[in-house]
Amino acid sequence: MEWIERFNNVINYIEENITQQIDYGEIAKIACCSSYHFQRMFTYMAGIPLSEYIRKRKGTGRAGQAERPHDCRWYHAPADQV
């Protein structure tokens, strides 16, 4: 459950700072792991590399669209559903 909360906190950080330079060091602090490890986990969980997600979000922001390219919120599924 902690990982899911950390991922969501990182997504919130990205959304709040989308118009600025995203600090991968800050992302690592929020996720409580190395930048390298988080980027690998993000790709696994979201199906898209972190850098591409940020690039797409910056692109949709310039176009005036508030929606994300896809929902990147994770939830904790009960063990019997996994």
The pLDDT of residue 2 = 87
CB 11 within 8 A of CB 30: no
The pLDDT of residue 61 = 61
Domain boundaries, the chain: 2-81
Distance set, CA 67 to CA 12, 33, 40, 55, 58 (Å): 14, 28, 24, 14, 11
Residues of the chain predicted below pLDDT 70: 1, 61-82
Single pTM value for the model: 0.68
The pLDDT of residue 22 = 94
The pLDDT of residue 73 = 54
The pLDDT of residue 59 = 87
